[in-house]
Amino acid sequence: MADTDLLFPADDSTADKAAKGVQLPANLEAEAAYLGAVLIDNRVIEELTTPLMVEHFHEPVHQRIYERILKLIERNSVATPVTLKPYFESDEALKQLGGTTYLAQLTADGQGLLHPRELAEQIYDLALLRQLVTVGRNLVEGALDTSDEVEPLKKIEQAEADLYRVAEGATTGSEAQSFRTAAFGALQVVQAAMNSGGRFSGKTTGLDTINDKTSGLHNSDLVILAGRPAMGKTSLATNIAFNAASRLMRDLRDGIDRADSPGAGVAFFSLEMSADQLATRILAEQAEISSEKLRSGKLSRDEFQRLSFASQELTDLPLYIDDTPALTIGALRTRARRLKRRHDIGLVVVDYLQLLQGSGRASDNRVNEISEISRGLKTLAKELHVPVIALSQLSRQVESREDKRPQLSDLRESGSIEQDADMVWFIYRAEYYHNALKPDTPDETSSEDVRMKYAEWEAKHLELVNKATLIVAKQRHGSTGNVPLLFHSEYTKFSSPDIRYTDDYE
């Protein structure tokens, strides 16, 4: 007897099943009845709430019949046993079932017409169960295989990814879309833009100037938001996350369907700040109280009331903060899938990219590791079909230039970030650099030259104060350029000015 038999003895029922052979979950009679219903009335397919694909059928012959039915209907032809007959006269497997007369037998009693939806749902559910069997088998085989590297966490991540695909109904994750399907999706995007008054078609950022330039945040897009320290990267990301979640919350309260809302539930992965620090920022922004006052507790009665009201208003905010430090890209993707499954999130924010870790294999080379992370984030955006905003650092070479505006070449450590990103945004505040040049404040003894220099600095300061620029350096679906913003540093809050984007805005 093997050692494993001592640890995990098989009961009699398990042994009997192994001896007899276990059948995969399937109902061939339900498949035949449903095919018969479709052949009698092709409109049955259009009335399904659960769309059936060819792969949902277990019997290969049924798969081929259903595939030919779909092709005929797509060509606006009628699918009947008669019109199907020429395609199956030489089908060897069908001959074992009686040949082309089997097609007529499918429609003989017409029982499937009585409950086609229930039949379709059962066929679909059994297909998912077969997928679960496949996932389980792969998990067991992978766990037992120690011939290569032993990486249990990686196997768990793969299993969760497979389970997510099953939960989403993706029985074949690599299926190609017909142009008809892709075109229909494109028309839905255009219709969403029209419904918003022609302003944007994606998820809202809550900032009109950004929405105008980018048409919002689009599903499957990776957006890199980069900048030097103190530019306001985290503040802008937090503002966008709050704005999207707040819009969804308001729309749901107003009875608007989630699918019709430009808002989104948000997963915010904060690898630098704790969840309570992020919450403090959001409360400070909404109550218009400085973060410094919140930390020190020096609040007036009116300020405390505003804070309390803001807190109560945001109790149902669909914003989920994960502040687990030192996440690997694999672990982040696993957590994001879980949040998608549980809370149907529509936006992922990562603060920030360089704090993520790659797999052990790539960690010996930082450039390769960053490449792996950026590819993983893009894959996550496509897999969950949501926009992903990832914050990124910039190299110090920005500080050595006279013109401090960031460029794509300033992205730190890897050119793959630029390659994988659908949009690259740089946040730039000329006010910050101008303040660093502030001369001494003149007094009564100061010379006229000193007074003039200070007056010139002060005049420029008044032009730049509270202004920020979002530089759209890359955009696959549109033009690049500068987007004007206002930054209220006291509340760490960005807003849109009355003007729209322009190339000469500071």
Count of C-beta atoms within a 10 Å radius of residue 332: 24
Beta carbons within 8 Å of 427's beta carbon, 6+ residues apart: 225, 226, 227, 231, 232, 233, 236, 468, 469, 470, 471
Is the domain defined by 28-168 classed in CATH 3.30.420.40? no
At 80, list the tokens: 């009947």
CATH 1.10.860.10 domain span(s) along the chain = 28-168
Nearest-angstrom CA–CA distance, 251 and 336: 23
Distance CA 396, CA 413 (A): 11
pTM for the full model? 0.64
DSSP per-residue codes, 46-87: GG-SS---GGG-SSHHHHHHHHHHHHHHHTT----HHHHHHH
Stretch(es) of the chain classified as CATH 3.40.50.300: 200-423
Report which of 257, 233, 259, 252 is spatially closest to residue 346, judged by C-alpha positions.
259
Position 193 scores a pLDDT of: 53
3-state secondary structure at position 481: strand
Q: What is the pLDDT of residue 168?
A: 63
Alpha helices for 272-429 (secondary structure H): 275-287, 291-296, 301-313, 329-343, 366-384, 416-420
Question: Residue 483 pairs with which residues in a beta bridge?
Answer: 470
Written out in words, the top-level CATH class of the domain with range 200-423 is alpha beta
> Can you say whether the dihedral through the CA atoms of 147, 152, 154, 160 is positive or negative?
positive
Residue 391's pLDDT is 93
- CB distance 119 to 34 below 8 Å: yes
* pLDDT the model gives residue 20: 45
Rounded to a whole number of angstroms, the CA Rg of the chain reads 30
Q: Tell me what pLDDT residue 6 has.
A: 35
How remote is the C-alpha of 142 from its chain's centroid? Answer: 28
Rounded to whole angstroms, what are the CA distances from 207 to 45, 217, 383, 414? 43, 11, 27, 30
With left for phi above 0 and alpha for psi between -120 and 50, is residue 385 left, alpha or beta?
left
pLDDT along the chain (506 residues), means of 10: 38 41 81 89 74 86 89 82 87 83 84 83 88 82 70 72 66 48 56 55 87 90 89 90 91 87 91 83 81 76 83 84 84 83 90 80 69 88 91 82 81 75 90 80 77 82 85 88 88 78 46
**Which pLDDT does position 423 carry in this prediction?**
92
Q: How far apart are CA 365 and CA 96, in angstroms?
A: 59
